[in-house]
Amino acid sequence: MDRAAIVHENFLRRVAAGALPPGNPPAGPLAPEQAVSVFRSGCLSRALDRKSRSMQAAGQGFYTIGSSGHEGLAAVAAALRPTDMAFLHYRDAAFQIQRGEQVPGQSMAWDMLLSFACSSEDPISGGRHKVLGSKALNIPPQTSTIASHLPKAVGAAYAIGAARRHRPEHAEMPDDSIVYCSFGDASANHSTAQGAFNTAGWTAFQSVPLPILFCCEDNGIGISTKTPKGWIAANFRARPDIKYFACDGLDIYDTYATAQAAAAYVRTRRKPAFLHVRTVRLYGHAGADVATSYLPKAEVEADEANDPLLHSVRLLSEAGALDTDQALRIYQETNARVERVGDAAATRPHLRTAAEVMASLIPPKRACKPSNGPTAEARVTAFGGDLKAMEEPQIMSRLINWALTDLMLAHPEIAMMGEDVGRKGGVYGVTQKLQQRFGPDRMIDTLLDEQSILGLAIGMAQNGFVPMPEIQFLAYLHNAEDQLRGEAATLPFFSDGQYSNPMVVRIAGLGYQKGFGGHFHNDNSVAVLRDIPGLILAVPSNGADAAKMLRECVRLAREENRVVVFLEPIALYPMRDLHAAKDGGWMQRYPDPSEVIPLGEVGCEGRGTDLAIVTFGNGTYLSHQALPEIESAGIKARVVDLRWLSPLPRAALDAAVAGCSNILIVDETRRSGGVAEALMAHFHESSEAKLARLTAEDSFIATGPAYAATMPSRDSIARAAIALAGGDA
Ligand SMILES: Cc1ncc(C[n+]2csc(CCOP(=O)(O)OP(=O)(O)O)c2C)c(N)n1
Ligand SMILES: [Mg+2]
């Protein structure tokens, strides 16, 4: 017999015999009818676990991670409000079911069984995954990547306070709500989780409101690795500014009373708390996991003897809320109902085609109040003396600063966050004066943790803000990249487009910095960004384009709910000249705020048909430098600036190179996994032109005189162009 059957038989036998596990008497504020409701939720959660296993065995269900042993979490749900956004551990079916009791019109069993069956009618993921989640219950679905939901939960808690100060048009969370975030005991060790606890404490330590209730469901084990006894309490009992509460998750009365006290603390003090709930894990980790293969049988049996549903039967009976016969009947009726409903759910349709699966990669658009842009007076106040400077050509970093200013004036829901973005105005001065112009609420100097920066952005977006997080250098994105890949980009996908977290991530990056160097400040790989479905990657090559593209990026986030990465080539921030000192050839005037470069529109300069150089970022600048030499070799050329690296603007590229006999791709990212690989493949499929590519070496970048040695240069571009197009030189 498998453990699920053993636990079931134990329950029936022990309840019938009145052989219930001992424990404290029922105590605290849980009212009898509420206690019965919590028990019903536990029974439903258990019955769903059993059914998910039989559905899997019958080929009707797929993923079987369960909640058995964690039914006490229903009592936590009962202590919260359904408007408290909940970022849930995967074992929280009972929590979700109980929350469903607080909102009229829910059909939790049916909904969850559809999710087990991966039916396209599953209301949360549309058949994409077995996930907990519900728009009506304020439960965004979570991926199973351990702890990756904690940074955004902290961000969402911050966003409640931020929205009290500036309420965005699309705000969803009530001012007096709190955020709830649960996870397992092993997950609490993950550096992502630890970073989130630290960020919560760091924020609250400064008396900034951060109403979050963390909940650790401590069953003492993570798959097969035990959590040392006492570790969670020792770790969390005395964290600065995170108040610790502990309860016995096998006792719904104790759990309810403690959760209520913890929630009241968070709600009234607007500070973080940590609720430590002791649970057991029944049935092993997930479907195929056999706990007795790594745990002594006696230990597994000891947990089974502590089945929380058995504890509840005793407590309810002692409280006079329900006698054991009634409890047994509820359990059996629930099982029978789930059997019936599950069989019906198994007949519902599935996703079939790629188009159906992909339908929610890009979230639906949202209606936004029209903005006429800032008034002339508001611009005078914000820009001051800069208005005069707008009449003259300027460097890129200045034009980006002005574009950001105009965007923040036009859209009060924009907030920026990052290391040194506020007071200092960024390492390169790109965000200078923005904190003076818009205040520290909208220009947030964060702590040093990229996961927290992106988590803050995701969480704020879920409360209607348009966040523009900054990652100081591209090389520092990588330790936090999962927040984009595994969290931000997947949220619309797994929620069938019901949740989104629009944002424009600004990242300073790429190579060619003369004075400031090494790989850490000159990272020239964008491979990790280019293959994230739904993510837009933009790279401007000059200041005017940067301003016009930024406006489009913000529009895409604000109106179309998109996740956009705007990669700013650092070496071009201060670039003034193109061919000779003081020629000012790479500076532009600030484009009027109405001017926009739409997504997918590439740049094209020149009309030559002998050669199209297709490039982006620094490559565009260097190709322009190389043009005179190429043309003096008798080659008539054009330079096509890709601008939008992902998704590749295929039709616009084809139009831009139409009629050209040769295409040279100049790519400052690496030969392996670089942008040129995609461009070569594209043109190979779409064009008759002769193709060649010039890329960076498969190397990291060095500091000192060899700072650009591994990348394309003006000279190497000219040589490659002439070699390809066969000039007369
Ligand atoms: C980042 C990451 N690493 C590893 C895993 C694989 N994994 C899934 S669940 C799990 C154990 C989690 O244990 P715990 O947090 O105690 O939760 P429990 O399953 O005991 O409720 C692991 C290692 C994962 N999902 N994500
Ligand atoms: Mg655990």
The token duo for 571 is 């070496």
By DSSP bridging, strand 466-471 and strand 179-184 are unpaired
Distance 98 CA to ligand 1 centre (A): 24
Q: State the DSSP string of 215-280.
A: EEEE-SEETTEEPPTTHHHHHHTT-TT-EEEEEETT-HHHHHHHHHHHHHHHHHH---EEEEEE--
Distance (angstroms) between ligand 1 centre and the Cα of 342 equals 27
- What is the DSSP secondary structure assignment for residue 520, as one 8-state letter? G
Ligand 2 centroid from CA 338, angstroms: 27
Q: How far apart are CA 534 and CA 549, in angstroms?
A: 18
Lowest mean pLDDT segment, chosen from 10-24, 39-53, 510-524, 624-638: 510-524
Q: Which atom of ligand 1 is nearest to the CA of 65?
A: 19
Nearest Cα residue to 85 out of 41, 130, 134, 138: 138
412 exposure class (CB count in 10 Å sphere: 0-12, 13-18, 19+) = middle
- List beta partners, residue 182: 215
Nearest ligand 1 atom to the CA of 222 is 13
User: Which numbered ligand comes closest to the C-alpha of 189?
Assistant: 1
Distance 145 CA to ligand 1 centre (A): 8
Tens digits of per-residue pLDDT, 659-710?
Answer: 999 999 999 999 999 999 999 999 999 999 999 999 999 999 999 999 999 9
* pLDDT confidence tier of residue 491, bands split at 50, 70 and 90: very high
Give the three-state DSSP class for 653: helix
Which tokens is 704 given? 């000192």
Is this structure's pTM higher than 0.95?
A: yes
How many CB atoms lie under 10 A from the CB of residue 5? Answer: 12
Structural tokens at position 280 = 């057991």
* Burial class, 371, CB count within 10 angstroms (exposed 0-12 / middle 13-18 / buried 19+): exposed
Q: Are strands 225-226 and 611-615 parallel, antiparallel or unpaired?
A: unpaired
Q: Whose CA is nearest to atom 8 of ligand 1?
A: 146
Q: Starting from the CA of residue 218, give the closest ligand.
A: 2
**Percent of the chain at pLDDT exceeding 90:** 95
| pLDDT tens for each residue of 497-535 | 999 999 999 999 999 998 777 888 999 999 999 999 999
CB contact at 8 A, 178 and 267: yes
Ligand 1 centroid vs 346 CA: distance in angstroms?
28
Ramachandran region of residue 201, left (φ > 0), alpha (ψ -120 to 50) or beta?
alpha
| Phi, psi torsion values for 52, nearest 5 degrees | -60, -35
Instruction: Label residue 727 by pLDDT band (50, 70, 90).
Output: low
CA of 149 to the centre of ligand 1 (A): 13
| pLDDT the model gives residue 408 | 98
CB 67 within 8 A of CB 219: no
Token code pair at residue 373: 């842009």
Q: Write out residues with Cβ below 6 Å of ligand 1.
A: 91, 144-146, 183-187, 217, 219, 221-223, 281, 285
The sign one gets for the Cα dihedral 617, 619, 622, 627 is negative
Taking the CA of residue 183 as reference, the ligand 1 atom at the shortest distance is 15
Tell me: pLDDT of 610 over 80: yes
Q: Which of 424, 419, 386, 438 is nearest to 508 (CA)?
A: 419
Most distant pair of Cα atoms in the chain: their distance: 99
Residues with CB under 5 A from ligand 2 (ion): 184-186, 219, 222
Pairwise CA distance, residues 283 & 649, whole Å? 50
Q: Report the separation in Å between the CA atom of 186 and the middle of ligand 2, taken as the mean of its atom positions.
A: 5
Give the closest ligand to the alpha carbon of residue 186.
1
Confidence grade of residue 169 (pLDDT, cut at 50, 70, 90): very high
Q: Residue 641 belongs to what H/E stretch?
A: strand 637-641
Which residues on neighbouring strands pair with residue 639, listed in sequence order?
605, 613
The C-alpha atoms of residue 153 and residue 239 are separated, in whole angstroms, by 18
Q: d(Cα 712, Cα 693) in Å, to the nearest integer?
A: 10
Using the atom order of ligand 1, give the atom closest to the CA of residue 185: 16
| Range of weakest confidence among 62-66, 262-266, 478-482 | 62-66
Number of C-beta neighbours around residue 465 at 10 A: 32
The pLDDT tens digits of the residues spanning 572-606 come to 999 999 999 999 999 999 999 999 999 999 999 99
Nearest atom in ligand 1 to 147's CA:
1
Using CA positions, which residue lies closest to atom 13 of ligand 1? 222
Q: How far apart are the first and last CA of the chain?
A: 83
Query: Ligand 2 centroid to 283 CA: how many Å?
Result: 13
| Residue 637 near residue 612 (C-beta atoms within 8 A) | yes
Q: At 371, is the pLDDT very low, low, confident or very high (cuts 50, 70, 90)?
A: confident
Are 99 and 86 in contact by the 8 Å Cβ rule? The answer is yes
Q: Is there a contact between 553 and 411 (Cβ–Cβ < 8 Å)? A: no
Q: Determine the pLDDT at residue 715.
A: 98
Angstrom distance (rounded) from CA 585 to CA 578: 5
Edge-to-edge strand order for the sheet containing 212-218?
86-87, 179-184, 212-218, 273-278, 243-248
Amino acid at 350: H
Mean pLDDT value of segment 296-313:
96
- Class of residue 320 by CB neighbours under 10 A (exposed 0-12, middle 13-18, buried 19+): exposed
CA distance 194 to 190: 6
Residue 460 Cα to ligand 2 middle (Å):
29
Residues 6 or more apart in contact with residue 512 via CB below 8 angstroms: 522, 569, 570, 571, 618, 668, 707, 708, 711
Say which ligand is closest to the CA of 182: 1
Nearest-CA residue for atom 7 of ligand 1: 146
Q: How far apart are CA 205 and CA 203, in angstroms?
A: 5
Ligand 1 atom nearest residue 146's Cα = 26
The C-alpha atoms of residue 323 and residue 132 are separated, in whole angstroms, by: 31
Three-class DSSP category at 273: strand
SS3 605: strand
* Nearest listed ligand to the Cα of residue 150: 1
Rama region for 512: left / alpha / beta (φ>0; ψ in -120 to 50; rest): left
Ligand 2 mean position to 223 CA, how many Å? 7
Looking at ligand 1, which residue's alpha carbon is closest to its atom 25? 145
Q: What is the pLDDT of residues 433-478, one digit of tens each?
A: 999 999 999 999 999 999 999 999 999 999 999 999 999 999 999 9
Our mutation pick for probing the ligand 1 site, out of 92, 215, 217, 223, counting the most ligand atoms within 8 A of Cβ, is 223
How many alpha carbons lie under 13 Å from residue 13 in its C-beta half-sphere? 8
* DSSP assignment letter at 488: I
pLDDT at 274 over 60: yes
Mean pLDDT for 16-31 is 97
Indicate if the pLDDT at residue 487 is higher than 80.
Answer: yes
| 678 Cα–ligand 2 center, Å | 43
CA of 277 to the centre of ligand 2 (A): 11
Nearest-CA residue for ligand 1 atom 20 is 222
Q: pLDDT-based confidence at 52, cuts 50/70/90?
A: very high
- Ligand with smallest separation from the Cα of 278: 2
- Ligand 1 atom nearest the C-alpha of 286 is 19
Amino acid occupying residue 641:
D
Closest CA to 280 of 291, 270, 269: 291
Residue 150 CA to ligand 2 centre (angstroms):
16
Q: Which atom of ligand 1 is nearest to the CA of 70?
A: 21
Indicate the residue type of 230.
G
* The pair of three-digit structure tokens given for residue 356, joined into one six-digit string: 């159906």
Task: Choose which residue among 145, 146, 185, 490 to substitute to test ligand 1 binding: the one with the highest number of ligand atoms within 8 A of its C-beta.
Answer: 146
Count CB atoms within 10 A of the CB of residue 704.
9
> Which ligand minimizes its atom distance to the CA of 65?
1
Ligand 1, atom 21: closest residue by C-alpha:
184
pLDDT of residue 461: 98
Closest atom of ligand 1 to 219 CA is 20
CA distance 237 to 515: 48
Count Cβ atoms within 10 A of the Cβ of residue 716 and give its class: 0-12 exposed, 13-18 middle, 19 or more buried.
middle
DSSP 3-state assignment of 446?
A: coil
* Ligand 2 center from residue 218 Cα (angstroms): 5
Contact call for residues 403 and 443 (beta carbons, < 8 A):
no
State the ligand closest to the CA atom of 487: 1
- Check if the beta carbon of residue 135 is closer than 8 Å to that of residue 495: yes
Task: Please give the pLDDT value at position 143.
Answer: 82
Q: Measured between alpha carbons, how far is 367 from 375 in angstroms, rounded to an integer?
A: 22
CA 186 to ligand 1 centroid distance, Å:
7
- Given this model, what pLDDT does residue 729 score? 46
Which of 187, 214, 451, 479 maximizes ligand 1 atoms within 8 Å of its Cβ, making it the mutation to test the pocket?
A: 187
Nearest CA owner, ligand 1 atom 3: 146
